[in-house]
Amino acid sequence: MRISIALCILLSQICLASEVCHESVSQGGSRLSSCSQNNRLIITDYFQDGIHPSKIQTFDNGTLSREDSYSITGDLTTRTDYDYELDGSYFKSYFQSNFTFEDRKEKFHIINDQEILLENYGFNSKTHELENIDIYDEGLVVTRKVIKYNRYAFHYNFIYDNQRVIGFESFVEHKKIGDYSQTSVQQLPNNPSDIRVKIAILDSGFDHEHPLVRDSIYLNEDDPIDGLDNDQDGFIDNYLGTYFNEYGDLKFSTGITEFKQSELVKKKYFSIPFETIDLTKTGIIDSHGTHVASLALNNTSHTILYPFAGDYGSSTYLDKISKKIKTDKVDFVNMSFSFPHMATRDVDRKTYTSLKKLITSNPETVFFVAAGNDGNELQHNRFHCLYPACYKYQNLVTVGATSDSYWRSDNNYQMADYSNYSSNFVHLFAPGTQVKGALIGDMEVQYTGTSMATPMAMNIAIKLKEEFPQLSALEIKDAMFKTAISNDNIKAKYGVIDYKKSREQLLEH
């Protein structure tokens, strides 16, 4: 029942249970309507057509409790719920992709008429479970509480340089459990004296101080940090590896203090293969490259790692990496990443050219690459192929994932439902589900994907090459192909890697 304000005055008792509405025009010329009933006020803002609502705000007892936004077709696009605390702070819960579960939640306080962000709550996009609570101070995240199974697990205290996170310390309550810094080198790698295998990994970044990775990182004493390319390999000061920043937008106010340098880098090339820290991602601070490296290096003792971090999709970077791999005669390379078909135009065409050149210009190096996690059969067309997984070169091995986290003794392997597969493009399979490896900041974590299966496969090649250093990387690869376990559950060109049979094959070589 809609009645006018004048009639409401005459029939006040009826008005207590009735809706009172009036309309106006906003400054932008759009229609506004407000309706009140008891202690609730609803304000509706319309599109220019004056028919379809664009935003509806609900006030209870004079305070905003909910805000809904709509598309011109009448679909609800976003919803924000407000919840107020006794201390004057309040929460905003944002709903967008699923209006049953929160996408995001923030806590605010009003100080001097300004809305100050106090906390941000991060939810898993798939499970909708709370994964972290970020605590703010003066607009910066100073602490992240990691939540697991609805309980506090541990927390990070972040370290900043020019308002950019460059590191952290992690704690369980008051006990320190780890740390990480992009610019700090507390201990140099202790490379093995008897180097039999050289590997390279192209990835996002690495925790160069992690105990499962550090001592294998190649210490390039021919190129100390002095701002010069002393070994003339195209990389300036790649003493511990390289981080390439294609756009030159990463800057540090101080360099590696242990080396007494005033600058860490020129503009694009950094002398530490560090991992960037992205606080827009929920949950733990992860490092794809660190986890991959730890799996590749697991239980090896005569191997060194060339870590190439940063913008590996840059053709400039790929070309320089190619030359370095050739000059230093790297045996194996891990590339746990995928680019879509060139026809999508999502990636610069130069990247594909350089990626092919990287592989073809190093025919003695074996490249292990991820099959991808779409659960599809790789086919030679624009819709069902990824790269480098779908390249067909003699020195390339595409790896799919089984549903295991370890190598089985009974060989009863099942193909993981997320893994891409193909009897034409996918050569081998390896465990890739909930595989335990290094987590940035001296910790460990379980990850899932063909990104994990790929270094698990390369790890077998490394172990075989360490035992048979006189054999080439291609001979190691061929033995792994010949002895792979084939069964109906695994859709691959060869099958699941069998270390024992590969070793026996090489002993007979």
CA distances from 55 to 19, 52, 445, 508 (A): 19, 9, 43, 75
- 310/269 Cα distance (integer angstroms): 9
| Cβ proximity of 453 and 402 under 8 Å | yes
Listed residue (357, 314, 320) closest to 337, CA to CA: 314
- 367/454 Cα distance (integer angstroms): 10
| Cβ proximity of 400 and 428 under 8 Å | yes
Q: Where in the chain is the domain with CATH 3.40.50.200?
A: 197-507
Q: Half-sphere exposure (CA, 13 Å, Cβ side) for 371?
A: 38
Tell me what pLDDT residue 420 has.
Answer: 97
The three-state secondary structure class of 315 is: helix
Tens digit of each residue's pLDDT (9 = 90 or more) over 359-382: 999 999 999 999 999 999 999 887
Tell me what pLDDT residue 264 has.
Answer: 45
pTM of the model: 0.90
Low-confidence ranges of the chain (pLDDT < 50): 1-16, 257-266
- 400/229 Cα distance (integer angstroms): 39
CATH of domain 19-180: 3.90.930
- 149/169 Cα distance (integer angstroms): 22
Strands 443-447 and 435-439 turn out to be antiparallel
In three state form, how does the secondary structure of 239-307 look?
Answer: CCCEEECCCCCCCCCCCCHHHCCCCCECCCEECCCCCCCCCCCCCCCCCHHHHHHHHHHCCCCCEEEEE
The three-state secondary structure class of 356 is: helix
The three-state secondary structure class of 120 is: strand
Tell me what pLDDT residue 2 has.
Answer: 34
| Cβ proximity of 437 and 452 under 8 Å | yes
Q: Where in the chain is the domain with CATH 3.90.930?
A: 19-180
CATH of domain 197-507: 3.40.50.200
Token output for 144: 């992240």
Other Cβ atoms closer than 10 A to 454: 32
- 387/353 Cα distance (integer angstroms): 11
Tens digit of each residue's pLDDT (9 = 90 or more) over 161-215: 988 999 999 999 999 999 999 988 889 999 999 999 999 999 999 999 999 999 9
| Cβ proximity of 388 and 353 under 8 Å | no
Amino acid at 258: E
- 215/304 Cα distance (integer angstroms): 8
Tens digit of each residue's pLDDT (9 = 90 or more) over 285-332: 999 999 999 999 999 999 999 999 999 999 999 999 999 999 999 999
Beta strands in 96-139 (DSSP E): 104-111, 114-123, 130-137
